[in-house]
Amino acid sequence: MQKKSSYSKIVAGTMTWGAWGKQFSKREMAELMQHCLEIGITTFDHADIYGDYTNEADFGKAFSESGISREKIQLISKCGIQFDAKGRQNRVKHYEYSKAYIITSVERSLRLLQTDYLDMLLLHRPSPLMHPDEIGEAITRLQKEGKLIDFGVSNFNPSQVALLEKAVPVTSNQVEFSLTQNNVMYDGTLDDCIINKRLAMSWSPLGTYFRENNTVSERITKAIEPLSVNYNCTVDQLLLAWVLKHPAQVCPVVGTTTKSRLEAAIKATEINLDLQDWFILLEASNGNEVP
């Protein structure tokens, strides 16, 4: 069995590296991997569905020719979501968490990523039909065979995590968490990560700020622009610093493919956001004082 994995504070999200976004060539992917390592991003976040089930293969081909040692990186992938795509003739979008499917999915990810093991597998979204014992049997087998180190979930609430833990330890939860999407601070999800020492990861850590022009973004702009001057940093760095200040020690999954923005994300880990400034931004997002 491989040693316990250690994950970088900023995680590189690969969802838009391939068919769902930039459509990088093998050379471009390898160069971006190398750049990530040079600046301290060693963890790469995948899912079997990315690029209509093609992203892992593209990444794997680039990785195999990159010259990067497997021991220098951590590979995360997810499984469970099924939809109609080439080679997947599903009649309806659904979730699949049978023992056989989880094992087959991980073995497929290993083959496509051209690696012997995953550092972490996440169940992509909770299914009302998932059975903890069946999932536990699959994970236990994969770990015993050395194909998987850590097991976690994505988008699960605390009761759903507790259900799985009847059968298998859950070491992480990747959830949507940002200044504009902060419900996990109040529904017990991040509390659960702290209490049980789970690795908390945040997808879409910049939230909707750059995507939506509404009263929320207007309030945040009014509050955050003076702060960016005070901290001598960019707005996106402050948005990451806001996430990073939470005591759950959340690791943002950053989806940008721009090298300078990846560098900026790493520098955001050095920002010590003042307590009251953190609440100023929360008030701007929520539109009211904390109770």
Provide the annotated active-site residues: 50
Q: What is the dihedral of CA 81, 183, 174, 252, to 10 degrees?
A: 130
Residue 136: φ, ψ to 5° = -60, -40
Residues 217 and 285: their CA atoms lie apart, in Å, by 8
Helix (H), strand (E) at residue 200: strand 199-203
Q: What is the dihedral of CA 260, 31, 206, 77, to 10 degrees?
A: -160
Q: Is 114 exposed, middle or buried (0-12, 13-18, 19+ CB in 10 A)?
A: middle
**Cβ atoms within 10 Å of 135's Cβ, excluding its own:** 24
CB contact at 8 A, 172 and 150? yes
